[in-house]
Amino acid sequence: DAGVIQSPRHEVTEMGQEVTLRCKPISGHDYLFWYRQTMMRGLELLIYFNNNVPIDDSGMPEDRFSAKMPNASFSTLKIQPSEPRDSAVYFCASSSSGTTRETQYFGPGTRLLVL
Partner 1 sequence: QKEVEQNSGPLSVPEGAIASLNCTYSDRGSQSFFWYRQYSGKSPELIMFIYSNGDKEDGRFTAQLNKASQYVSLLIRDSQPSDSATYLCAGITGGGNKLTFGTGTQLKVEL
* Dist CA 89 CA 97 (whole Å): 26
Which residue, 39, 58, 43, 50, is CA-closest to 90? Answer: 43
Nearer to partner 1, 38 or 80 (CB): 38
Q: What number of H helices and E strands is found in the chain?
A: 0, 11
* Dist CA 69 CA 47 (whole Å): 11
Is residue 62 close enough to count as binding partner 1 by CB under 8 A?
no
- φ, ψ for residue 86 (rounded to 5)? -80, -10
- Candidate ranges 19-27, 60-68, 71-79, 106-114; the one touching partner 1 (CB under 8 A): 106-114
Is residue 38 close enough to count as binding partner 1 by CB under 8 A?
no
Nearer to partner 1, 14 or 56 (CB): 56
Q: Scanning residues 77 to 96, which ones bind partner 1 (CB under 8 A)?
A: 91, 95
Is residue 75 close enough to count as binding partner 1 by CB under 8 A?
no
Residues that bind partner 1 in the complex, under the rule CB under 8 A: 31, 33, 42-45, 48, 50, 55-56, 91, 95, 97, 101-109
